[in-house]
Structure 1
């Protein structure tokens, strides 16, 4: 397998050429740190008192955006690396008014979670922006509940789009019934609730990922969780947070690409090491199990309160299924790569209840369908998902990531079994969440992992 990254200013093309003698993936793969946990460790470390050390931090562009935003607001954050990052926090309520715009880059997590903290800083003014993609993504889902708490946030299109101006205020706790299960919405409100008067409760229609709850508790927040009601309550103004040591497990969203790669490439067997298997994130494992994938957990353990395991995956015959309901919030980021798996499955796979994907870094439903169809897939868009008719052999084609990191990586995995070369335009987007994805792809394909 020949994997070549070619400059195509101002972007880069990835050209994947299949080997003449076939391909089998073998070996052990190390994946980057969990992006969700990396963001939260940087943020909570910045607003805690004392020192936070972070091991295994993801070095993608999104966490770099988070670190830079909090640096300009007064936190001392050492140069980012995957070994050990030190954050000297400034204490809850002490974020400094920055001299310039806060730039969240391409990171929706940075912008949405940070808004909860900025809104609760009385007498300080902030303006938050991002790249072209982020400025087109709706922020009203977090701004509306913040307004209910007393926040003053102003932006384009009815206070929905960045740039956003935030005039910090003293906030009041609320009970918010979220119409969607979203960890970003929940986390934003909980972070605002840290400094709000009284209790703040968020109730969701189903459980979303709970990294914020776990980490807030570890840092000393007064927080209770009611899993039966899908609700979490935080008590504000209880004395602040204390710096901690955080060990970031491998990101299951990054592991998903290798899980699908080994499942669809004949004679393959991979072990993905040190993967976070938090139950609110393992929807990808459940969905692949429904499809008949051969995946086993090994060496299960707890790391800083987060469950971790090595995942062994072997090639297997996949079958179509329906993926929707409560499973969707636990695999929302993995749907593009699941669509790749579904093209190899016997029968039809239906993905539903996933309309949220239309307002990610790209319209992931439309882009996933259009680009895989260019490779020979048979995918029909639905308003809230996809219908994928399987057993449609993919062929090489010229495709585009639309600067969406998960699309870029999904297309690269789809290209592994194509008999002719595939060119992925704007492939550099993969670095947003997986800086060494292309290097790892080369190693996996050459058997050097």
Structure 2
């Protein structure tokens, strides 16, 4: 059995940084993810005037309930969607000044219109500089009274998360009625974490109510990243007798993406989830299936890369939102599977992958997307010679991925181990 220490969750780390910055007192985050995305978030907080002290294994954030210390700032959000969506919301809710936000070309392409429309509905003076609904943008912040609004979060649950976290910072509280929602388990993460920082938030159906309580500082432990764990679990499922255990992800885990192991169980893998860990063991069989991955869509590429080794077609449905991630992940998965000689068909919100033996080595077109790289590392276990056009984009969430994955599955790579693409 191989026990793997997976880095902290990106989603949990980003939320914790927002909540700690908004809280009364100094919060300590234990085992935060240290990657390009989370470093970008921390740097953004510093640019706004928050005090963030980073030590190995712990980050300390001096909260400012009254908002950023700076009354003017230029914040660069890098590639991070949570940074690009959460920080303007924090500045709008708690700030009193003028704050400009920009991002990488990749992030500039990603939408945030439903969020900025909602902020304007709440009275925020917000202006997009070039393309409406996209970065760059400027927020002229003067606090938010609160009120009620309607939100379409069918494109990204991060819109709802940003507004929920804003709620306790308003003068009168916030009521949000959601017309559509994708990746709902991520919202459950938000609600649980808000309560851990002292918020009063609840919902009936798709209507969420947030009281104007503010937040209280706390010490918060970041659990391992369930999305990142999916690559190691999938690799175990692919190989008979291979067992992978991830401690820190158990029955009480916040992240819905741990549900990926239920997909692996349906395909034939042995799965055990205890209070403290999750273990997957390959049985030598991978069954075909049709699966709705709307709530765990970040793991869609993992299943797509595993799918050719099943005993029949694998069809993944209700994942339209993956087309507006770091890249169009549906098309990217299809493109790369075809490069490996696998037959694939796609539709607006689905992909179907036929079983087959990869034709041989191929260069994976990453489109700068960390999840495409890490997913196709699973396929590389059965396809000697796979390389990537941009292996280094894993720095977004797991800078050491190539080394860790290669070392864990060294025996599977065999003589090809030295050719396994590592981060430059």
Q: 1:402-425 CA distances to partner (integer Å, 9 max, x unpaired)?
A: 11100111122211111x311112
Retained in 1: the 8 A contact 2:227–2:299?
yes
Retained in 2: the 8 A contact 1:183–1:208?
no
Deviates most, 373-382 or 72-81: 72-81
CA 1:279–1:225 in structure 2 vs 1: closer, same or farther (change >3 Å)? farther
Partner of 2:286: 318
Retained in 2: the 8 A contact 1:28–1:270?
yes
CA 1:67–1:179 in structure 2 vs 1: closer, same or farther (change >3 Å)? closer
Residue pairs, 1:262-277, within 5 angstroms = 262-275=236-249, 277=253
Deviates most, 216-225 or 393-402: 393-402
Distance in 1 between residues matched to 2:240 and 2:71, nearest whole Å: 54
CA 1:392–1:171 in structure 2 vs 1: closer, same or farther (change >3 Å)? farther
Q: Which structure dedicates a bigger proportion of its chain to helix?
A: 2
CA 1:80–1:380 in structure 2 vs 1: closer, same or farther (change >3 Å)? farther
CA 1:295–1:407 in structure 2 vs 1: closer, same or farther (change >3 Å)? same
CA 1:371–1:80 in structure 2 vs 1: closer, same or farther (change >3 Å)? farther
Partner of 1:16: none
Give the Å deviation of 1:187: 1.0
Partner SS for 2:210? strand
Distance in 2 between residues matched to 1:264 and 1:129, nearest whole Å: 41
Partner of 1:384: 349
Distance in 2 between residues matched to 1:163 and 1:423, nearest whole Å: 34
CA 1:406–1:254 in structure 2 vs 1: closer, same or farther (change >3 Å)? same
- Asked if residue 408 in structure 1 is aligned to residue 376 in structure 2, the reply is no
Distance in 2 between residues matched to 1:380 and 1:71, nearest whole Å: 46
Partner of 2:403: 439
Q: 1:307-335 CA distances to partner (integer Å, 9 max, x unpaired)?
A: xx2323324411222222xx412x11111
Two-structure CA RMSD over aligned residues (Å):
2.2
Distance in 2 between residues matched to 1:80 and 1:108, nearest whole Å: 24
Partner of 1:7: none
CA 1:370–1:37 in structure 2 vs 1: closer, same or farther (change >3 Å)? same
Unmatched 5+ stretches in structure 2: 413-424
Question: Alignment partner for residue 426 of structure 1, among 381, 384, 390?
Answer: 390
Distance in 2 between residues matched to 1:366 and 1:280, nearest whole Å: 24
Retained in 1: the 8 A contact 2:368–2:393?
yes
- Asked if residue 33 in structure 1 is aligned to residue 1 in structure 2, the reply is no
The higher relative CO (CA closer than 8 Å, separation ≥ 6) is in 1
Retained in 2: the 8 A contact 1:171–1:195?
no
Retained in 2: the 8 A contact 1:50–1:242?
yes
Partner SS for 1:286? helix
Give the Å deviation of 1:204: 5.7
Partner of 1:306: none
Q: 1:183-210 CA distances to partner (integer Å, 9 max, x unpaired)?
A: 3111111123223323323436453322
Q: Number of matched residues? A: 405
Give the Å deviation of 1:35: 0.7
Distance in 2 between residues matched to 1:441 and 1:394, nearest whole Å: 23
CA 1:117–1:202 in structure 2 vs 1: closer, same or farther (change >3 Å)? farther
CA 1:99–1:125 in structure 2 vs 1: closer, same or farther (change >3 Å)? closer
Question: Alignment partner for residue 286 of structure 1, among 262, 265, 268?
Answer: 262
Partner of 1:51: 26
Retained in 2: the 8 A contact 1:119–1:151?
yes
Give the Å deviation of 1:80: 4.9
TM-score by length of 1: 0.84
Distance in 1 between residues matched to 2:304 and 2:79, nearest whole Å: 24
Partner of 1:235: 211
